[in-house]
Amino acid sequence: MGPDTTRPGPRERRKQRTHEDLLRSALELFLDRGYGGTTVGDIAERAAVSERTFFRYFAGKEELVLHPLREARQVLLAEVARRPAEEKPLRALYEGGLAALRLVSGRMPGLYRLTLRVVSTDPEAHATCLRFGAEEQRKLADVVARRERARPGDLRPVLLAAAFTAAITEASLSWGKGGDTSIASLSATVESHLRVLPQAVTWGRSRSPED
């Protein structure tokens, strides 16, 4: 049996439009007024829906900041788990990270970049992202540990996941502040950051015995 290519019906398309309208409205308001200065009522009004409708789609403001990031994480975890067994863990993370960012930024054009702009400029939204990042890092370390059959207490999956998460977060935020909104630009920015990661671990200036 081939893949299901059935197009969504009118009802599903309307739901998807409402979902995206709420996301876009919230992110634009967060940029204009700040995360703390925006209420659910403001978002619903901007999207031309009731607050009751808002809560059918999202539990609260935090979900609006985290939604694109959660989508990316789900793809990343799945991609890393399915990478070839002979592949080194950093390469698996590298390829999985690129796949996740390409898919999410392509699926939600403009919304992923808006999210990154909010997270990089609003302290409250940034704090929310950091809490999510800690959760993401733990789950990623678990996937790497299972993939590499690491023993309990092995710090390598934990430290690798931490370094990778830091690199891809910095790359995403850097892209979010730039002028090129293309997926190709995002991929290039992520690639450049991840390429430097192994060098950063052993990096240091030359030192003389007197230093």
CATH (domain of 189): 1.10.357.10
Positive or negative torsion for Cα 26, 44, 42, 32: positive
26 is a domain residue? no
Residue 151 to residue 159: CA distance in whole angstroms: 14
Print pLDDT tens along the chain (211 aa). 444 455 678 878 888 899 999 999 999 999 999 999 999 999 999 999 999 999 999 999 989 988 888 888 888 999 999 999 899 998 899 888 888 877 877 777 678 888 888 888 888 988 888 888 888 899 999 999 999 999 999 999 999 999 998 888 888 778 777 777 777 787 788 888 888 888 887 888 776 666 5
28, exposed or middle or buried, with CB in 10 Å at 0-12, 13-18, 19+?
middle
23 is a domain residue? no
16 is a domain residue? no
Residue 142: domain span: 61-199
206 is a domain residue? no
Look up tokens 């590499």; give the residue: 148
135 is a domain residue? yes
105 is a domain residue? yes
115 is a domain residue? yes
User: What's the structural domain count of the chain?
Assistant: 1
Positive or negative torsion for Cα 94, 100, 102, 105: negative
Per the CB < 8 A criterion, the answer to whether 156 and 150 are in contact is yes
25 is a domain residue? no
